Structure 1
Amino acid sequence: MSSMPHTTPEHASDEPSREEKMTIRRAPNLLAFLITGAILGAVAGVLFGLLGPESQFYTRGSIMGFFLVIGLVVGAGLGSVVSLIVDKISLKRTRDVTAQVDDVHDSGDRPGS
């Protein structure tokens, strides 16, 4: 059993609250852009390898594999560039808000500080 008293919402309302200014923005998910770019690049690479001209030195499978890898790398790179551009745009669309913060902890210390 714990010796610390539990704080309920009724007791939390007795404690003072404060207002803090915060910045809100929607940031893009970099991993999603990388994966999407890599998949699109891989599909383009496979299509280019399948529909491209024949070669007497390389098999169709090796040509397809080569363009698949190149498409993955180029697609992931383009996806990261698009993510950076979207992130830059989201920085311009930030909003400053004021939030009411209620401290429900027993000690006055903030977690993580």
Structure 2
Amino acid sequence: MERGEAVVRRSPRYLRFLLSGAIVGIVVALILTVTFPANDEFSIGQVFGFLLLLCGVIGMTLGAVVALVFDRVLAKRSHTEQVEHTTLTTPEG
């Protein structure tokens, strides 16, 4: 049995933050599409598609920034623990 030290810390799940940001971006794009007055040059679908791309990317970027900030904050709360490494062997059969 070997003894050693390991740093224990929590970290955010980046994919969840990115997806949450994208969902917020989709909702914002939908709200902006509905609230702006109708345009004769572009259909509602075209306006929504453009805003969806723009707001989706901005939302995902903001989600990533929030995840990175959480990661920095949680990294400061890391601590070292004593660990034991054991190796288990099983009979092959």
Structure 2, unmatched stretches of 5+, are none
- How many equivalent residue pairs? 90
C-alpha separation in 2, matches of 1:54 and 1:25: 51
Residue aligning to 1:45: 29
- Structure with the bigger RCO (C-alpha within 8 Å, sep 6+) is 2
Aligned to 1:31: 15
Whole-angstrom distance in 2 between the partners of 1:51 and 1:100? 60
Spell out the pairing of 1:5-16 with structure 2 (5 A cutoff): none
Residue identity opposite 1:90 in structure 2: L
Q: CA deviation at 1:105?
A: 4.9
Report percent identity of matched pairs. 29
What secondary structure sits across from 1:57 in the alignment? Answer: coil
Is 1:75 the equivalent of 2:20? no
2:4 corresponds, among 13, 17, 20, to: 20
TM-score, scaled relative to structure 2:
0.87
Q: Which protein is bigger by CA-based radius of gyration?
A: 1
Runs of 4+ in structure 1 off by over 6 angstroms are: none
3-state SS of paired residue (2:32):
helix
Q: TM-score, length-normalised on structure 1?
A: 0.73
CA distance in 1, matches of 2:72, 2:89: 37
Give the aligned CA root-mean-square deviation in angstroms.
1.5
